[in-house]
Amino acid sequence: MKNICWNVRGLGSPRAERRLRHLCKQYNPQMVFLMETKLDRSAWRGSGGVRDLDEGYVLHGKLNSSFSKWHIDTIVKEENVHEEWRFTGFYCSPYLKDKNLAWSMLKNLAQGYDYPWLVAGDFNEIMYSFEKRGGVPRDHRRMEAFRDTLEECQLLDVGYSGAWFTWERGNLPETNIRERLDRGVANDKWLSLFPRGSVQHLAYSISDHYPILINTNTVISLPGSRRFHFESWWIFEDSLEGIIRDFWDSSSAPLVEKMENLQICLKKWACAIKSKRGS
């Protein structure tokens, strides 16, 4: 299943709608989550708030699940997938006064459900300082609040392919700012259900945000299998480089087997650190 999430920053112009139609034709998504369309209800055609886009659809407004100005939450049933999963399209306000409310809402959404869960959209925040270049450095307390929210919700960054940033402003080198504001995060059940699940940053145009394409690839993992996930906090651990070097130098196994064993080694190393810190 393919899902496009995009902060379109206005869908009222023919140019923006052509871009959206082109994305749908090129990638053939089964679901599209749009943010900041700046359209009122009268601008949306079709029954139930569904705007026709040739053979694709943009879901807008009420679904048979929860929704607010910051999220749309629904259950997804895919063909050839043995388990239903939960998708939350999420938009966090860029204003500081709303951040805590948005994070609290996400924490509330995490309660009372046991589905494989994917949350994707524009979080309007970065997790770490290296996810921003240019402009004023981000306050570390804001990044920490975001990371703490994801940890409490047991959501992990799915990762990405493509450009390292999803938002850009300023054409000159001295004014250019780039940040990774849009992403997909998922719980361990979703990552295990879709071991080849991916997030791709698509080509920039129209909006200052890149669209992101989520592809579950409809691949079901075998019972008990777990996807390897390199967590961002590992790079801040002084012992990481030594662990990798020592393992790599000591192993003479074939490359594929060596990589698999390294994953096991890193998982044990990370668990030991968490256990020592009581987290």
User: pLDDT tens digits for 172-220?
Assistant: 889 999 999 999 999 999 998 998 889 999 987 778 999 999 999 844 4
Angle between helices 255-277 and 240-250 (to 10 degrees): 150
> How would residue 279 be classed by pLDDT, with cut points 50, 70 and 90?
low
* Tens-digit pLDDT profile for residues 11-20: 877 888 888 8
Q: Could you tell me the pTM of the whole model?
A: 0.75
Q: In angstroms, rounded to a whole number, what is the distance separating the alpha carbons of residues 187 and 137? A: 29
Q: Enter the DSSP assignment of 93.
A: -
Burial of 166 per CB tally in 10 Å (0-12, 13-18, 19+): buried
Cite the beta strand spans of 134-217 per DSSP E: 156-157, 167-169, 177-179, 182-186, 198-201, 212-215
Residue of 129, 205, 196 lying closest to 163 (CA atoms): 205
Mean pLDDT of the chain: 84
Beta bridge partners of 184: 120
Stretch (H or E) spanning 2: strand 2-7
Instruction: Tell me the mean pLDDT in the region 119-131.
Output: 95
* Window from 68-72, 144-148, 149-153 with minimum mean pLDDT: 68-72
> How would residue 155 be classed by pLDDT, with cut points 50, 70 and 90?
very high
Q: For residue 185, give the 3-state DSSP assignment.
A: strand
Instruction: Tell me the mean pLDDT in the region 116-120.
Output: 97
Q: In angstroms, rounded to a whole number, what is the distance separating the alpha carbons of residues 115 and 72? A: 16
Q: Is pLDDT above 90 for 252?
A: no
Would you state the pLDDT for residue 46? 43
Fold designation for 2-215: Deoxyribonuclease I; Chain A (3.60.10)
Would you state the pLDDT for residue 149? 96
User: Could you tell me if 120 and 3 are in contact, meaning their C-beta atoms sit under 8 angstroms apart?
Assistant: yes
Burial of 72 per CB tally in 10 Å (0-12, 13-18, 19+): buried
As a residue count, the chain comes to 279
Instruction: Tell me the mean pLDDT in the region 96-114.
Output: 92
Question: Could you tell me the residue ranges of all domains in the chain?
Answer: 2-215, 232-277
Q: In angstroms, rounded to a whole number, what is the distance separating the alpha carbons of residues 98 and 55? A: 37
Instruction: Tell me the mean pLDDT in the region 223-247.
Output: 78
Q: From its phi and psi, is residue 108 left (phi > 0), alpha (psi between -120 and 50) or beta? A: alpha
Q: In angstroms, rounded to a whole number, what is the distance separating the alpha carbons of residues 251 and 34? A: 48
